[in-house]
């Protein structure tokens, strides 16, 4: 029996300042259409006829297009206070008769309607659940919100916005794994916009199914080249153990010696490359510099090879985190792949997506016989997991010594 989508509402958030981008995101061109047009067409193609666009910054520029696309425009006069105010405005405007809300961002303009269709199918089997599509474990867009949470969202004025509400109902948050990378493509920055344009052009040149994914893609990209993954040397020590992600800490004397030993070991392998790729954090750059001096190579810094961002926990003593955030730290230990604390942190799926984007660029552009990457334990584990098809959760629990070399 065909389901009735008439009481579901698509809410497109367009009110942001576009401050990190520098250009007005809703009207940025992607092919012959703007970002906003791409999103609106996706919503309609999925069979959702009730569409609201929440406007704010430069709303006058959007009004003619919204009128043309027959989309209801709702102005959020509090748009400078953050995205959650726009979410509240859109849900309020949808009315009490709406059964649920799909939240779309113009930042993510290339989501295919097939993803929305999958979410709809899941919604009708679990109508009281939040739904979010994931690509390789990383959460994407759009988020589906059941109407049963409407009043709680509209009345909430605390910290954390929507995440503060969804985190209360973890058992009601369904993560739906999809094969469409577009759900995580975000043009919040100029670099992100270039990635969106590149993705769009590739799809136009190769208009095959979004579901097609080669399980051996990384092996095929590597070909017969040798890959050497080197973990940085030991960092300068603190009075007790810290949680270390992207906090920039230099090598200790022992760490420098570990880097020298790694360079000498690589020298024995008769490496054929003119450069070494390294995360741009100090500990990896220092390790790479020592190795490069031994191998007479130059260093190429790759920011996407940084270790996981741990947000406000980064660089803090573990004992203090346990004392201050006992419940959150326990959850992290139980859910290493998915848990993250705060808006500026990453989990392992976020790390995996970021690292593999950079790794793909290296494999596609490098023409040397061998590839050397100096990085962090988490980064190396992600690459190894994808090359060998091992479970990421199992891989991240393996120990990699400082200065250790993994050869593929």
Answer yes or no: pTM beyond 0.85: no
Q: Among candidates 115, 186, 232, which has minimal Cα distance to 354?
A: 186
What is the set of active-site residues?
232, 307
pLDDT of residue 4: 58
pLDDT of residue 408: 87
The answer to whether 48 and 116 are in contact (CB under 8 A) is yes
pLDDT of residue 230: 98
pLDDT of residue 257: 98
Report CA-CA distances (Å) from 189 to 4, 13, 108, 357, 376: 37, 17, 12, 16, 25
* DSSP H helix total and E strand total for the chain: 15, 15
Q: What is the DSSP annotation of 364-397?
A: HH--SSEEEEEE-HHHHHHHHHHHHT--HHHHTT
Report CA-CA distances (Å) from 349 to 314, 322, 359: 18, 23, 15
Return d(Cα 12, Cα 323) in angstroms, integer: 41
* Residues contacting 248, CB < 8 A, separation 6+: 281, 282, 283
What are the tokens at 254?
A: 């022992």
What are the tokens at 106?
A: 């113009």
Q: Which residues are annotated as a binding site for substrate?
A: 283
pLDDT of residue 22: 67
Residue 72 DSSP SS3: strand
In total, the chain counts a number of residues equal to 408
Residue 296: count of CB within 10 angstroms of its CB: 9
Query: Which residue(s) pair with 372 in the sheet?
Result: 228
Return d(Cα 46, Cα 9) in angstroms, integer: 11
Q: Which residues are annotated as a binding site?
A: 283
Return d(Cα 218, Cα 162) in angstroms, integer: 36
pLDDT of residue 180: 92
pLDDT of residue 317: 95
pLDDT of residue 2: 46
Q: What's the distance, CA 348 to chain centroid?
A: 10
pLDDT tens, residue order, the chain (408 aa) = 345 577 899 999 998 877 666 688 999 999 989 999 999 999 998 989 899 999 999 999 999 999 988 999 999 999 999 999 999 999 999 999 999 999 999 999 999 999 999 999 999 899 999 999 999 999 999 999 999 999 999 999 988 899 999 989 989 999 999 999 999 999 988 889 999 999 998 877 654 443 446 678 898 899 989 999 999 999 998 889 999 999 999 999 999 999 999 999 999 999 999 999 999 999 999 999 999 999 999 999 999 999 999 999 999 999 999 999 999 999 888 888 998 888 789 999 999 999 999 999 999 999 999 999 999 999 999 999 999 888 998 899 889 999 999 998
Domains, the chain, with CATH or none:
8-205 (3.90.550.10), 217-407 (3.40.50.1240)
The answer to whether 252 and 237 are in contact (CB under 8 A) is yes
Query: Strands, DSSP E only, in 205-304?
Result: 226-231, 275-278, 298-301
pLDDT of residue 116: 94
């Amino acid at each position: 029996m065909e389901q009735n989508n008439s009481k579901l509402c698509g809410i497109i958030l367009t009110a942001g300042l576009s401050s990190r981008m520098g250009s007005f995101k809703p009207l940025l061109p992607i092919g012959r259409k703007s970002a906003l047009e791409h999103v609106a067409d996706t919503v309609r193609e999925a069979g959702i006829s009730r569409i609201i666009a929440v406007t704010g910054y430069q709303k006058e520029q959007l009004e003619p297009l919204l009128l043309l696309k027959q989309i209801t425009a709702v102005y959020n006069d509090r748009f400078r206070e953050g995205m959650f105010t726009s979410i509240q405005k859109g849900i309020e405007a949808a009315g009490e008769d709406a059964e649920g809300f799909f939240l779309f961002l113009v930042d993510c303009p290339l989501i295919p309607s097939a993803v929305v269709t999958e979410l709809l199918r899941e919604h009708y089997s679990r109508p009281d659940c939040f739904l979010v599509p994931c690509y390789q474990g990383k959460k994407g867009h759009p988020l589906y919100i059941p109407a049963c949470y409407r009043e709680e969202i509209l009345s909430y004025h605390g910290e954390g916005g929507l995440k503060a509400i969804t985190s209360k109902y973890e058992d009601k948050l369904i993560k739906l794994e999809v094969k469409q990378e577009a759900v995580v493509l975000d043009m919040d920055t100029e670099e992100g916009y270039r990635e969106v344009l590149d993705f769009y052009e590739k799809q136009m040149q190769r208009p095959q199914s979004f579901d097609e994914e080669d399980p051996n893609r990384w092996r095929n990209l590597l070909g017969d080249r040798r890959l050497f993954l080197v973990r940085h040397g030991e960092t300068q020590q603190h009075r007790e153990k810290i949680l270390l992600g992207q906090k920039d800490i230099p090598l200790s004397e022992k760490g420098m010696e570990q880097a020298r030993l790694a360079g000498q070991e690589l020298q024995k392998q008769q490496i054929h490359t003119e450069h070494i790729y390294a995360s741009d954090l100090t500990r990896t750059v220092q390790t790479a510099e020592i190795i490069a001096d031994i191998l007479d190579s130059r260093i190429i810094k790759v920011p996407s090879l940084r270790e996981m961002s741990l947000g406000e926990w980064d660089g803090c003593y573990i004992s203090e985190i346990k004392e201050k955030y006992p419940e959150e730290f326990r959850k992290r230990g139980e859910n290493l792949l998915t848990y993250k604390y705060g808006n500026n942190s990453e989990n392992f799926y976020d790390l995996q997506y970021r690292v593999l984007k950079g790794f793909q660029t290296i494999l596609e552009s490098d023409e040397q016989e061998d590839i050397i990457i100096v990085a962090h334990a988490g980064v190396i584990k992600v690459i190894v997991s994808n090359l060998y098809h091992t479970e990421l959760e199992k891989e991240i629990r393996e120990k990699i010594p400082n200065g250790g070399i993994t050869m593929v």
